[in-house]
Chains A and B, each alone.
Chain A
Amino acid sequence: MAWYKRMEIPIAITTVFALYMIFEYFFNVPALKPVTSSLLVFVEIMGVFALGLGFISILMVHVPNIRKKRLYWPYSIPLLILMFFLTIIGLPTWAPTPPKEYGTSLWILGYLHPWFQFLYLNVIVPADATIFSLLAFFIASAAYRAFRARTKEAAALLLAGVLMLLKNAPLGTAIWMGFADIGTWLIGIPNMACMRGITIGIALGTIAIGIRTLIGRETGYFRGGG
């Protein structure tokens, strides 16, 4: 393999950039400030460029789906139609006399196109909110299934969960104001302490995984399977 294709080079780049970010944060070198802000925009721009990868990946899955008439292929059609439609009408276009409500900018933004707005407000927003709200049903069934006093530990979990429910339901505190105090205590003391303990561990884990990545030993990054 040619030397420039070796995996060590990207790993070295990763290390250099990581060390730079750390250095810049701890050491006061005014000259580096603009470099860092440029770098962060850089990363942002590169991230946006990657978008096309998703687009291509979707095409690679759904076009053959339709062509080969795989199972559930008809559903790929609305997906592709809406994807292309929104991408195309959403592209920024030049408008010599922009409508007043879009502000005075010459670039009338594609996503302020009325069709785009219509689809956004009446397709994406309701679907998004409703998929999110499925959680209301799932949380009820999960509570029923999981809050069962099989062991002493599970009993503690159950008790804390039910007491919180009584605190949050307006009817619960109407029955006995004490539920509010108990709930506040549970959130303020055990929950906080538990989250804090876990967070400390997470910090240590982050440092460990960071070092593994920097020395190029992390399986999750470039070294997969090896």
Chain B
Amino acid sequence: MSKSVWERMMDVDRRVIYLLVFILIMWPLVQPMGLPVPIASITKSVYDAVEAVPDGGMILFSADHGFASIGENGPQLWGFMQQVFDLQARKPGIRIIFFGFWMEGTLITDTYLKNLGKGRADPNYGKTYANLGWIPLAETGMAVWAADIHRTSAKDMYGNDIGTLPLMKDLKTLKDIVDKYPHVLFITVESGTPGLPEFLRQWQEPYNIRKIVVACTAVSTPGMMPYVGTGQIIGVVDGLSGAAQYEVLIRKPGEASAGTDALSMTHFLVIAFVVIGNIGYFAMKGRKVS
């Protein structure tokens, strides 16, 4: 006996679903469709906060994520990095310090610096920006680093003595940074622990760093919302869709923008299958009763 349409709707072979997911991800990546990307206010406030850094301000840039979440965190990091260097080109007094409390995150930062033509070989390295690399020991590391930068990050990412970098020479503690630069913005791109709660405990309260923006994976966003509510952080770039919005804001469409089409398509595919399954289910139920 062959199956009725309703039964088929209720019992779609999972391979069909898998194949459609694969196609709907691949197709927009090859042939972008340019579906609309509405900007959430929470993303816009992050963008505005970065743009608002004045000439002579300081940006602390922490990459706290691993390779596993690079699909989401990678475009976020890339967006921020393009923006801060653009900003520095417009306002030459801005100084940037890169570091990270996850080892893999700092490797990714380094790759992106290279892609931007920055990093070790750049003559400006050490003068207008520095890359301190990985700081171990998670939350303890945050506390120790803030109290004594030159001991915890004795060498930068490239093995230079941190004291030889003109930018870092006089910045011995986080307090020095806060005292020397009136406007300190802290950017963290993160996917877990250690992450924002640790920064709030170790840095925000003791050193009074008020301007914090966060980019995180969609799974961690709900955990960030309370801090936005209390004003402890300015805003959140939420997962891949947040990264895509950010690319629209900085007018540099990239990986995330290409990915959003795929994101929209697959989400609607899942919804479509849920609807199909339920139609089939209710039709069958109606039949059984009659």
Contact = CB atoms under 8 A, between A and B. Distances in A.
Report if A and B touch in the complex (beta carbons < 8 A): yes
Interface of A: 100-101, 103-104, 125, 128-129, 132-133, 136-137, 139-141, 143-145, 147-150, 158, 161-162, 165-166, 168-174, 177, 180, 184, 187-188, 191-192
Given A177-B38, A184-B225, A187-B222, A171 B264 contact: yes
Interface of B: 12, 14, 17-18, 21-22, 25, 35-38, 40, 67-68, 70-71, 155, 159, 218, 221-222, 225, 239, 241, 244-245, 260, 263-264, 266-271, 273-274, 276-278, 281-282
B271 A166 contact: yes
B167 to A, nearest CB: 20
Given A148-B281, A171-B268, A141 B17 contact: yes
Given A148-B274, A170-B263, A171-B36, 13 more contacts: A143-B273, A143-B274, A144-B17, A144-B270, A149-B281, A150-B281, A168-B263, A170-B37, A171-B264, A171-B267, A177-B38, A187-B222, A191-B222
Given A140-B270, A174-B36, A148 B277 contact: yes
A180 to B, nearest CB: 6
B194 to A, nearest CB: 17
B38 A174 contact: yes
B67 A172 contact: no
Interface of A is mostly: helix
A170 B159 contact: no
A154 B38 CA distance: 31
Interface of B is mostly: helix
A22 to B, nearest CB: 20
A140 B17 contact: yes
Contacts, number: 109
Q: Which 10 A-B pairs have the closest CB atoms?
A: A169-B267, A171-B264, A174-B36, A144-B273, A141-B14, A187-B222, A103-B159, A147-B274, A137-B18, A169-B264
B274 A144 contact: yes
Given A141-B17, A144-B12, A170 B273 contact: no
Nearest to A125: B67
Given A140-B273, A144-B270, A148-B281, A168 B241 contact: yes
A143 B264 CA distance: 16
Given A140-B266, A143-B273, A144-B270, A170 B278 contact: no
A192 B278 contact: no
